[in-house]
Structure 1
Amino acid sequence: MPGPGRKPKKKGRARKGTGSIYWSEKHQCYVGQISLGTDSNGKRIRPTFYGKTVEEVQRQIDEVKKDVLLGQYVPAQRITVEQHFKDWLRTKRPPNTSPTTFSKYRAVVENHIIPRLGRFPLRELDHLRLNAFYELLADQGLSQRYQFDVANVLKAGLADAVRKNLIPKNPAEIATAPKNDDKEARFLTEDEVQRFLLAAKGLWMEQFFIVLLHTGLRAGEALGLPWSAVDLDAATLTVRQGMVEVDGVPTITGVKTKNSRRTISLPAQAVAALRQQRRKQLQAKLAAGPQWSNPHDLVFSNRVGGFMTRSNIYRRDLRRALNGAAVLAAAERYGCDPQETLALNRPHLPARALRVGDGILLPGGGQGEILAGDLMEDVGLHTFRHTHAALLLSQGVHLYVVSQRLGHASISITADLYGHLQPGVDKAAAAALEQISERWSFENS
């Protein structure tokens, strides 16, 4: 304390670069500032940082001081959307996220966010500009689901900017983002399954489709399945790895979640398909000779032992099988022998998807047309997983068992996707309430 009659000394100004931290009643948090001299216009450079603790604010100040020493510091008001999102991507590299997730993030940032928004200062990004960006995505003809994914990546990146005190609020919280296309999961009916399997007969991936239908495996889990994980005598297979494509390059990786690591019991049809797959693969190995290379011991490989990719399956065997299934449906409609009609048309089926009105050859020299009802639209590899779940539930298999076979992280995911497919559940609930209510006594009003 200063002595009597003596004025207290004025508090000296902190040296440049040391910073100061204080509690702000207005913001109800700690606030720190650091002086970095002046800019080219003589204006003081004094960035401000916010945090719940002194230590949190001090860390931010220390990071800025380090960037200044390295010549990498950019004032928050000058940081562009491109600069921030490139920095954000660096924090998302594996193992912080899975290789496939990071690949999706990078594709969205590089193909959409940076080309359209990258040049703007981060602090000038408002909800009006984001709404215009979302409208542009729709005008480009992108699917509703993909627009939703782009908006989610943008929102996550801007939330990171808020955490770093680069912007005060996230404009994506206010903007009108694209909605998710909540289509009901597409699954095949029993008739469609029969047509599809008949049309897939003899194709290289025939057994792959059969195994997907009978196990509910994700496509990546099946494409990364090694023979060492298959026990044909015990009629089981164990999921412990999968195949993912990162920037178009197939790679073996761990399973998606803890629950994804599971052992699945196989029905007789799946066991028979796997035995046939082993014989077919041995024949391919003999035919390939020195070209054969299957270092991952894959169950479903290409003809020389390498990875089968989803795009390859979509373009070739899946498309051929779907086109064949449409021919079979048309043959049934015209009252012709389905297998004879398929054999007649198979050499002439195009690589592209059949369309309504496409002509097909009928036995006896006739010609018919494909109708909308003949086509199996929106069918992808994940459709077989949905079909597996739907068929089990239609036979009264408990939702928990289905969830375990699918390897969902929780039964709630299975319930959200397929709960409505459980037959008679609502009627059973009403019957149960009726039994309970019979034990209640009510006074006549």
Structure 2
Amino acid sequence: MKGHYYKRGKSWSFIIDIGKDHTGKRRQKQMGGFKTKKEAELACAELITQIEKNEYIEPSKLTFGEFLKDFMENHVRLTIRQSTYESQISVINKHIYPGLGHLELQKITPMIIQKFYSNKLREGLSASYIRIMHAIISKTLKTATEWELISKNVSTLLKPPRVENNDVEVWTMTEITQFLSLTKNRKFYIAYALAIFTGMRKGEILGLRWRDCDLDKGQIRIRQTLYKVKGALTFQEPKTRKSKRSISISETVISILKKHRAAQNELKLKLGNAYRDHDLVVANYNGNPVDLGDINRDLKYVISKYNLPKIKFHGLRHTHATLLLQLGENPKVVSERLGHAEVGITLNTYSHVLPDMQKSLADNFENAIQIENASIDKKGKIL
């Protein structure tokens, strides 16, 4: 493969065959504006190398925003949950479209995206939020590379901001006891109790059905989760296989659930056909699902009224896991109970517990060995 060089005015140009189109017609690529013939030869050689390695991409004016919109609507939307899709679209509309959407897809560089991340940090966005944006951008550019719209996925050269492992919000055993006592007669007591005693997620609790509660065997099965999509409440299956799990419950929880079911049955009889029975354990007065924001507001009210340490609803799940680890429970068992994809997530999330566990482990190991107090006979055996 050779280039044909010619001089036009004071600059050099070259022309090269780049194959044939789908009709069999010869296609050529022409580039000019080089000060010397040597510059034109170097550019031509680089282009030939790209063509021979199948790395050459025909220049396009397609913008990153145009491709991202098409990619999300016609590909991503078909492969992920609607709630996840809506969450990603929100991030895209708020930040990615305004910041990068106008740029030509082929002209995006690592420096441009890295500067975009830095600006978002200065605007006050968290590192974890920026990593969400990075995941969307990386997936988009990876696909653009696979579809041969760009020659390289520049996101692989980026370093998104590191997320600091701040301690998670947790309550002490005393604070838990006080909270449960204060909320015993409140509407959402059953939800609080389930979060504290089982470590279930809020959506899992609000989506829990009586048919998934085996009170005789002392087990709860996670089979659906409540989400809010475009302002509407909807039930979906758990995201992962690990999330779809069974949780053992104690006699205390069984007792709380039985008492709650009895009160709910009385309400059903009282309302008759006015009760919308979705078989939900946690429901509104008329049986409809509870809005996820309502339970947040109730928790915030209780904390403010009784001057309790601030904590979010998800912090009750963190409290459950933290106490289990502090009590010496196997992290693998805790991970399975929480529905984490792998035990590493559990260990990373609750790293604040590990120092105490390490101390306990060291003391237990020393007590088991007892080298100094051991008596050895002449054959080297322990007496």
Structure 2 residue aligned with 1:219: 202
CA distance in 2, matches of 1:426, 1:386: 22
Per-residue deviation at 1:234? 2.5
Contact map agreement 1:200 1:320 (CA 8 A) in 2: no
Q: Deviations over 1:318-370 (max 9, x none)?
A: 112221331xxxxxxxxxxxxxxxxxxxxxxxxxxxxxxxxxxxxxxxxxxxx
Contact map agreement 2:18 2:51 (CA 8 A) in 1: no
Unaligned runs of 5+ in 2: 1-16, 31-46, 377-383
Q: Is structure 2 residue 366 aligned with structure 1 residue 383?
A: no
Supply the AA of the counterpart residue of 2:344: S
Structure 1 residue aligned with 2:38: none
Supply the AA of the counterpart residue of 2:292: R
Structure 2 residue aligned with 1:5: none
Distance 1:415 1:177, change over 3 A: closer
Contact map agreement 2:193 2:253 (CA 8 A) in 1: yes
Contact map agreement 1:243 1:253 (CA 8 A) in 2: yes
Q: Secondary structure at the match of 2:103?
A: coil
Q: Deviations over 1:210-231 (max 9, x none)?
A: 0111111121211111100112
Distance 1:36 1:300, change over 3 A: farther
Distance 1:409 1:174, change over 3 A: closer
Per-residue deviation at 1:117? 1.6
Contact map agreement 2:226 2:236 (CA 8 A) in 1: yes
Q: Percent identity?
A: 28
Task: Give the alignment's TM-score, normalised by structure 1.
Answer: 0.66
Q: Is structure 2 residue 264 aligned with structure 1 residue 281?
A: yes
Structure 1 residue aligned with 2:295: 313
Q: Is structure 2 residue 237 aligned with structure 1 residue 233?
A: no
CA distance in 2, matches of 1:299, 1:419: 33
Per-residue deviation at 1:271? 1.4
Task: Give the alignment's TM-score, normalised by structure 2.
Answer: 0.76
CA distance in 2, matches of 1:395, 1:427: 10
CA distance in 2, matches of 1:252, 1:35: 54
Contact map agreement 2:322 2:353 (CA 8 A) in 1: yes
Distance 1:175 1:393, change over 3 A: closer
Q: Deviations over 1:43-87 (max 9, x none)?
A: xxxx99x9999xxx8xx9xxx9xxxxxxxxxx6521101111112
Structure 1 residue aligned with 2:75: 91
Contact map agreement 1:199 1:322 (CA 8 A) in 2: no
Per-residue deviation at 1:176? 5.0
How many residues are paired up?
A: 339
Structure 1 residue aligned with 2:279: 297
CA distance in 2, matches of 1:310, 1:81: 35
Supply the AA of the counterpart residue of 2:85: F
Contact map agreement 1:207 1:276 (CA 8 A) in 2: no
Q: Secondary structure at the match of 2:235?
A: strand
1:82-121 to 2 correspondence within 5 Å? 82-89=65-72, 90-94=74-78, 96-121=79-104
1:7-406 to 2 correspondence within 5 Å? 16-18=21-23, 35=27, 76-89=59-72, 90-94=74-78, 96-286=79-269, 288-294=271-277, 296-315=278-297, 317-326=298-307, 376-377=309-310, 379-406=311-338
CA distance in 1, matches of 2:257, 2:364: 44
Per-residue deviation at 1:433? 7.0
Q: Is structure 2 residue 355 aligned with structure 1 residue 425?
A: no
Q: Deviations over 1:85-136 (max 9, x none)?
A: 1122131114x12333222222122221112221111122223322332233
Per-residue deviation at 1:209? 0.4
User: Aligned Cα RMSD in Å?
Assistant: 3.6
Distance 1:289 1:52, change over 3 A: farther
Contact map agreement 1:162 1:170 (CA 8 A) in 2: yes
CA distance in 2, matches of 1:189, 1:144: 28
CA distance in 2, matches of 1:244, 1:264: 21
Unaligned runs of 5+ in 1: 1-11, 21-33, 39-46, 65-74, 327-374
